[in-house]
Structure 1
Amino acid sequence: MPQLALYTFGVLKSPLADPAPLTHEFYDIGEAVYREIGGHPGYLAHAVAAEGDRGSHFEADWGAWGEFAVPAWYDKGRTAETTALATTLSLWTGLRPAFDAVYTGLHREALNRRHDWFERTGYPAHVFWWVCDDVTPVWQDGVSRLEHLHAHGPAPHAFTFQHSFAPDGTPAGAEGVGPKSERVR
């Protein structure tokens, strides 16, 4: 049974090591969101660094999730002191469970505050693609698919909630899936 891979990427307004209250708030909310999403029906797994150090994405050991990578447009720091990004790589049973987890509960609350923490870049913030059930996607997969989505728009290779595809590559009905303002009509 195919699984749905989800890669998210955002550029933060300040480095993860910034001692400002907004940075601490982002961490506190993020930790609670991960706990809640981890118990959500349809959630399978997400990339976790072996050592879990804040801000050390580039030096961390991500195990089966591969070497850490970021989109070409990320132009901020790459050290624990200067990294200014938030990213996830996860696996789901399908689009509906991922949507329900992203647009409800604590994650929905965090999305409502995203402009407090993230820059508006003009690039997509998430991308989906299907993988075989025995495949663990790697960071570079997410990066290349997000860049493909930005350059070419949604396709079976790289798609969004709003313009999704079934595992066989046929367009999936988007009715009722995706933020109301972005649903396909």
Structure 2
Amino acid sequence: MPHLALYTFGVLKAPLADPAPLAREFYDSGASVYRQISQHPGYLAHAEAAEGGRGSHFDLDWGAWGEFAVPAWYGKGRTVETIALAATLSLWTDLRPAFDAIYTGVHREALNRRYDWFERAAHPNYVFWWVSDGVTPTWQDGVSTLERLHDHGPAPHAFTFHHAFAPDGTPTRTKGIGPKSDQAR
């Protein structure tokens, strides 16, 4: 059975190393967000750096998730002192569990504050695509898929909650998500 890959990317207003309260607040909230999401039904895994993750995203060993990569439009720093981004890569069983995890609890609280922490962008900040069972998507897969979504719009290989596709490539809707939220999947 295919799994749903999710890549998220945002450019922060300040580097992660910035001692200002807003930067610290964002950075410190990450542990509780990941802890709650990882316990959510339908969650399978997310990219984690090996051996405690010391260094910048670009220097870390991400194992099967591959070398860390960012979209072409990211133009800020790449060192521990200057990096100003937040990116995630995760696997889910389906759209509904991902939606429920993202739009409830501490992650929802964080989403409500996103414009305190993140720059507003003309680019999409997340993308989904289906992967075969046993496949671990890489950071480069996520970047390429997000850029494809930006350049060409939603399609079976790069989509959003509002314009979703089933594993077989047919358009789909999940009850409560998207323009025709009254339709059940």
Give the structure 1 partner of residue 133 of structure 2.
133
| TM-score, L = length of structure 1 | 0.94
Distance 1:8 1:98 in 2: 12
CA distances 1:56-104 after superposition (whole Å, capped 9, x unpaired): 1000000000000000000000111110000000000000000000000
**2:96–2:174: 8 Å Cα contact kept in structure 1?**
no
Gaps of 5+ in 2: 181-185
Q: Tell me which amino acid in the other structure corresponds to 2:94.
A: G
Q: What does 1:93-104 correspond to in 2, within 5 Å?
A: 93-104=93-104
Give the structure 2 partner of residue 69 of structure 1.
69
Alignment pair present for 1:24 and 2:19 = no
**Residues 93-102 or 52-61, more deviating:** 52-61
Give the structure 1 partner of residue 179 of structure 2.
184
Distance 1:130 1:7 in 2: 12
Give the structure 2 partner of residue 165 of structure 1.
165
Distance 1:122 1:80 in 2: 26
Equivalenced residues, count: 180
Distance 2:73 2:160 in 1: 19
Q: How far off its partner does 1:51 sit?
A: 3.5
Q: Tell me which amino acid in the other structure corresponds to 1:81.
A: E
**Residues 81-90 or 54-63, more deviating:** 54-63
| TM-score, L = length of structure 2 | 0.94
Q: Tell me which amino acid in the other structure corresponds to 2:179.
A: V
Q: CA RMSD in A?
A: 1.1
Q: What does 1:69-88 correspond to in 2, within 5 Å?
A: 69-88=69-88
Give the structure 2 partner of residue 33 of structure 1.
33
Distance 1:48 1:23 in 2: 21
| Secondary structure, counterpart of 2:57 in structure 1 | coil
Gaps of 5+ in 1: 178-182
**1:5–1:137: 8 Å Cα contact kept in structure 2?**
yes
Q: How far off its partner does 1:50 sit?
A: 1.1
CA distances 1:128-176 after superposition (whole Å, capped 9, x unpaired): 0000111000000000000000001000010000100000000012441
Give the structure 1 partner of residue 144 of structure 2.
144
Which runs of at least 4 in structure 1 moved beyond 6 Å after TM superposition? none
Percent identity (aligned): 76
| Secondary structure, counterpart of 1:99 in structure 2 | helix
Distance 1:128 1:162 in 2: 11
**2:66–2:138: 8 Å Cα contact kept in structure 1?**
yes
Give the structure 1 partner of residue 183 of structure 2.
none
Give the structure 2 partner of residue 116 of structure 1.
116
